């Protein structure tokens, strides 16, 4: 994607900072949505075993004609599969129609996190998951993984946006070299009506969604908003053309909840 920055992970791999999330996208709609997004210029798709639409992601990729190596695909280990990540990932790869995913995340913490994390390390070493990370963990939970294995997650995916940026967690990530992925970057669109987002958008000649998404990129987060609208897909991708000044970024920073 021209104009979309990339972020280098702690394992040396480079991920597009902006992509498409397919949470709650019906399986029957996923292929068309992914194909449209890739044709527009998206190169990062975030799915999960629990979303039930991995097959649609794979179908959309093939229909787009975009080479597999040009698209970053993330999926996540389902909560009920912590005991057999290898088999679970093999099933995901079959549904996606690919021999690897670019990022495999533990979707949520469970009772066997260290054991599960060791299995993901093995999958990374085998090449079927090029990078590995976690989602919705606590700082304590991440410390336990690192203490037991010495392997720091490349990514931690959390709900983060200008209203609830989770600054302490982000600071923890920076100290440990973990990339922050933000799901729900627009809070299901609710942030686009915020007066600050509207003022900044008017000042820079963009939409509120675009300036909020640009804030994520400029603050070093990886963001993937979800939409099923082709028009919104194109609008969100316009983030590549938006430029925010330090003043604009500070104004959006002040949208956060107190304290």
Active-site residue set: 51
Q: Exposed (0-12), middle (13-18) or buried (19+): which is 81, by Cβ within 10 Å?
A: buried
Exposure b/e, 223-242, CB count within 10 A at least 16 = b? bbbbbeeeeebebbbebbeb
- Residue 99: closest CA among 120, 122, 130: 130
Burial class from Cβ neighbours inside 10 Å (0-12, 13-18, 19+) for residue 88 reads: buried
The tokens describing 122, both together, are 């093995």
């Amino acid at each position: 994607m021209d104009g979309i920055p990339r972020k280098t992970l702690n394992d040396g791999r480079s991920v597009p900072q902006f992509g498409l999330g397919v949470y709650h996208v019906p399986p029957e709609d996923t292929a068309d949505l992914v194909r449209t997004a890739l044709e527009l210029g998206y190169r990062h798709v975030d799915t999960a075993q629990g979303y039930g639409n991995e097959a649609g992601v794979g179908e959309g990729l093939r229909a787009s004609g975009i080479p597999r190596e040009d698209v970053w695909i993330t999926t996540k280990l389902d909560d009920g599969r912590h005991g057999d990540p290898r088999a679970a990932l093999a099933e995901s790869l079959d549904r996606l129609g690919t021999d690897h995913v670019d990022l495999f995340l533990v979707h949520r913490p469970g009772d066997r996190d260290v054991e599960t994390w060791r299995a993901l390390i093995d999958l990374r070493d085998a090449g079927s998951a090029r990078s590995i990370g976690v989602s919705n963990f606590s700082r304590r939970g991440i410390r336990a993984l690192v203490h037991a294995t010495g392997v720091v997650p490349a990514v931690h995916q959390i709900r983060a946006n200008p209203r609830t940026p989770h600054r302490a967690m982000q600071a923890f990530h920076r100290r440990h070299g973990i990339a922050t992925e933000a799901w729900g970057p627009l809070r299901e669109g609710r942030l686009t009506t915020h007066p600050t987002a509207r003022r900044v958008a008017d000042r820079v000649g963009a939409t509120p969604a675009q300036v909020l998404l640009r804030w994520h990129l400029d603050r070093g987060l990886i963001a993937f908003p979800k939409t099923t609208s082709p028009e919104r897909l194109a609008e969100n991708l316009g983030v590549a053309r938006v430029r925010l000044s330090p003043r604009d970024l500070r104004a959006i920073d002040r949208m956060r909840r107190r304290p």
